[in-house]
Structure 1
Amino acid sequence: MYQMDIKMLSYGDLNETVYMEQPPGYVAQGEKQRMVCKLKKAIYGLKQSPRAWFDKFSRIIGEFGFSRCQADHSVFVQTTTSGMVVLAVYVDDILITGSDLVGIEEAKTYLQKHFVTKDLGRPRPDISFAVGLVSQFMDKPRLVHWEAALRMLKYIKASPGKGLLFKRHGHVKIEAYSDADYAGAEDDRKSTSGYCTYVGGNLVTWRSKKQTTVARSSAEVEYRAMAHTTSEI
């Protein structure tokens, strides 16, 4: 499984005629001050932008041999002689997986030719908790936080082959697990909850997040974690 990020809003083509006021700093003085701008592309904040982007993406990926899944229109499937490639789209984030490794690389190369993409590599659920913890100190980082970030980078470099491996277990049973600590944050006494869900014995979603309120008991913390897990299912 691989992740990609695409700059989406600069690619949508508008089917309607849309005008906008001149942005600050662009306003021409004199008679042109009352003029407006005619949009040639979808931009951020325009309600048509997500639809325009998805329509163009669907057309381009369809030209490469992908077909849209009837059960979920944000999932595209390509059948090859060596297996299949599955591509899932969520706004501008893309997940690519499948049994044809060559087909996956070809799909990534094809997307990079048509869009400005960022290859995020394989998902690393093993560092999600550490990344979330260090990210809490981005406003005022200290030396200890910098050292922790460097340690994570060393760990990633030393384990390049780690990732998600999907195996066939003969069933598609859905399982979910949740857990939480109690008042683990020393600065605000908030708790951290987490969950992971499995489909057919394979990990598909996971999350670790500090709770927004201060709990009065460990039971309350566990119930909140269980509620978040249930919402994910």
Structure 2
Amino acid sequence: MEQQLGFVAQWESRKFGKFSEVVIEYGQKRSAYDHSVFFKQSTAGCILFVVYVDDIVITDSDSSDINMLKAFLGTRFQTKELGPLKYFLGKYAQDLLDETDLAEAKPGDAPMIPNVKLGAEDENVFVDADKYRSVLGKLNYLTITQPDIAFPISIVSHFMLSPRTSHWDVVTHILRYLKGSPGRRILYKDRGHCRVEGFSNTDWTGSLVDRCSTTGYYVFVGGNLVSWKSKKQSVVARSSAESEYWAMAQIFTLPLIQYFMREQSI
């Protein structure tokens, strides 16, 4: 029997609803601005609880609060302790290099060669389009922890339907760059303030395919990078100023972060 569309989504929604009830029963509050985030204020600080599909991330300044929450969840659900976050900080990229036979390749110095322009009708069609899409999907997942590859990933993702060898060359360049920096991390520290700041830029009419611009933005909280994205604009800007305005308008995470910080009494 063929499964109806939406069946899985409905089942996942019910499962998350039950999970939310249990977490709230423990004393956690669900964020009004991101329903996958739960929090609880304590004398030691704030315990944050984030759900992503079937994975859970818990953070707090007091390890005893974390242990109590994990013990409580263990009495209500079947859970598996995976330890401190580390897979994205090197191991994931190494597995991807092994999969693409680039583990022994020469490391790259930059995620993308400057001023490279890619077209949809470049010569030499890449013979394994499924491999191209698979690797791009995994690289896109890696941008969660690697903002430096967000822009080149955004560019080569435009050619998923019919990739060319020139597009694959850019993908391998990104992979070789990752080989040169498998454990590169973002440094977070107390910089003496909690200001929320956003920065954006755009390459006006940078696409050879439709002349659309690509936006890139970064958001900092207290001088620490917390959000980033690179995405092609949906319209053709008639001037560089219009392109920049579109870029600024896409930083929609700024007010959400500000509301979230107020919710946490930060």
Which TM-score tier does this pair reach, normalised by the shorter chain? 0.5 to 0.7
Deviation readout 1:59-82 (Å, 9 max, x if unpaired)? 77789xx86246556334599xxx
C-alpha displacement at 1:91, in angstroms?
A: 5.9
Gaps of at least 5 residues in structure 1 are 1-22, 27-41
C-alpha displacement at 1:176, in angstroms?
A: 0.8
Is 1:137–2:97 an aligned residue pair? no
With over 3 angstroms needed to count, the CA separation of the structure-2 counterparts of 1:71 and 1:143, relative to structure 1, is closer
Q: Equivalent residue for 1:33?
A: none
With over 3 angstroms needed to count, the CA separation of the structure-2 counterparts of 1:60 and 1:93, relative to structure 1, is same
1:88 to 50, 59, 63: 50
- Mapped to 1, the partners of 2:243 and 2:183 lie a distance apart of 35
1:114 to 63, 76, 79: 79
What amino acid maps onto 1:133 in structure 2? I
Gaps of at least 5 residues in structure 2 are 90-144, 256-266
- Mapped to 2, the partners of 1:162 and 1:147 lie a distance apart of 23
Q: Equivalent residue for 2:205?
A: 183
Is 1:149–2:171 an aligned residue pair? yes
* Mapped contact 2:156–2:167 kept (Cα < 8 A): yes
What amino acid maps onto 1:154 in structure 2? R
Residue 121 of structure 1 aligns to a residue in which SS?
A: helix
C-alpha displacement at 1:209, in angstroms?
A: 0.7
Number of equivalenced pairs: 184
Residue 87 of structure 1 aligns to a residue in which SS?
A: strand
Query: Which is richer in helix?
Result: 2
- Mapped to 2, the partners of 1:164 and 1:98 lie a distance apart of 19
What amino acid maps onto 1:53 in structure 2? K
Deviation readout 1:196-228 (Å, 9 max, x if unpaired)? 111111111111111111111111111111111
* Mapped contact 1:67–1:76 kept (Cα < 8 A): no
Residue 128 of structure 1 aligns to a residue in which SS?
A: helix
C-alpha displacement at 1:128, in angstroms?
A: 0.9
Q: Equivalent residue for 1:124?
A: 146
Q: In angstroms, what is the RMSD of aligned CA positions?
A: 4.1
C-alpha displacement at 1:193, in angstroms?
A: 1.3
What amino acid maps onto 2:227 in structure 1? T
Residue 194 of structure 1 aligns to a residue in which SS?
A: strand
What's the TM-score once normalised by structure 2's chain length? 0.54
Counting aligned pairs with the same residue, the percent is 42
* 1:1-233 correspondence to structure 2 within 5 Å: 23-24=1-2, 43-46=7-10, 49-50=12-13, 52-58=14-20, 68-69=28-29, 74-76=36-38, 86-89=48-51, 114=79, 121-122=88-89, 123-230=145-252, 232-233=254-255
C-alpha displacement at 1:169, in angstroms?
A: 1.5
* Mapped contact 1:134–1:149 kept (Cα < 8 A): yes
C-alpha displacement at 1:87, in angstroms?
A: 3.1
